[in-house]
Amino acid sequence: MLTNKKNSTLRLVQLSILVAIVIVLQLAGTAVKLNILGTSVSLVLIPIVLGAMLLGPKAGAVLGFIFGIITYLMGVFGLDAFTFILFQDHPVLTALICIVKGTAAGLVAGFVYEACQKAWNGKKNLLATFLASAAAPIVNTGLFILGSFTVADTLQSNFVGEGETLLYFLIIGCAGINFLLELALNLIAAPALFRLFQFFGKKRPVA
């Protein structure tokens, strides 16, 4: 009983820390983004994936939901120019895009990791972490692109250049190198941090 209570407390503390990291990374904006090849790459999916693998799909969904809420609020208050423009024309749809893609990214990453663990009986753990780490940016970007077609009029009038199509703008302009770099960072950072958490967790004595 005491051990279960301590484990529950530990999980709550871990989730709280990860929530704080997600909020800080998202609010800090460009100050905490890496600039690689002229592209600003967000780090916020890393703690979301980490939480999904450590604490399960529900925790991943909570972290993704927080990410989506902060993204939306940054648009509402004009801290993110792109989201702000979408919010002005489509406040509800913009909220759904931000929240659904973030929540789904964390949820799916958790499910992918759990499914791999069950299918391989805890073996191939490293491969499971890579698959979960890849799932989050793929889902996040994929749902963003799909959701963007619901606000196509605003995107077309404000961002799509002459002679371009909306699909080209979304895949090349919005995703493109940005998506590939975020995918690479997740594949490197999330599994490495996960192994560190596991290592130190095993060394921590349980009363």
- The pLDDT averaged over each successive group of 10 residues in the chain (207 residues) is 72 93 83 51 90 96 97 92 94 97 97 94 86 96 96 94 88 84 92 84 48
Instruction: Give this prediction's pTM.
Output: 0.89
- The ranges assigned to domains in the chain are 13-199
Q: How far apart are CA 169 and CA 181, in angstroms?
A: 18
Q: Do residues 72 and 99 touch, judged by C-beta distance below 8 A?
A: yes
pLDDT at 113: 96
pLDDT at 37: 47
pLDDT at 35: 52
pLDDT at 28: 80
pLDDT at 207: 37
Using the structure block, give the residue that is written with the tokens 């090849």.
Answer: 37
Tell me the CATH number of domain 13-199, given options 2.40.30.10, 1.10.1760.20, 3.40.50.150, 3.40.50.300.
1.10.1760.20
